[in-house]
Amino acid sequence: MTSDARPDEDGATAPPERRQPPGDRVALRGDLRAALPDATAAMVVTALVFAFLWARMESGASDTVAVMPFMDDPGTYWMYLLSQAFGWSGLLWAWGTVMLGLLLSGPRPARLPVSRQVLERWHRTTSLTTTALMFAHALMFAAELVRYETKVDWAERLWVAFADSFVPGWYDSGTGRIAIPIGQGALYLAIPLGLLFYVRHRIGANTWRRLHRFVIVVYVLSVWHTLLYGTNVWYGEWPRTVLWLLQLPVGVLLLLRLLRPARRAERLGAPKGGVGAARPAWWARAAGRAAVAAVLVGLVIVVVSGRDGGRDRPTHPPATAPHTQETD
Q: What is the pLDDT of residues 78-98, one digit of tens each?
A: 999 999 999 999 999 999 999
Average pLDDT of span 186-195: 94
Contact 79, 147 (CB under 8 A): yes
Amino acid 265: pLDDT: 66
Q: Is the pLDDT of residue 122 over 50?
A: yes
Residue 148 pLDDT class (50, 70, 90 cuts): confident
Q: Is the pLDDT of residue 33 over 70?
A: yes
Amino acid 112: pLDDT: 76
Amino acid 247: pLDDT: 95
Diameter of the chain measured on Cα atoms: 70
Contact 127, 97 (CB under 8 A): yes
Rounded (10°) angle between helices 238-245 and 280-305: 150
N- to C-terminal Cα separation, the chain: 49
Amino acid 26: pLDDT: 43
Q: Over the stretch 51-79, which tens digit does the pLDDT of each residue have? A: 999 999 998 888 888 888 888 899 999 99
Q: pTM here?
A: 0.85
Amino acid 165: pLDDT: 93
Mean of per-residue pLDDT scores for the chain: 84
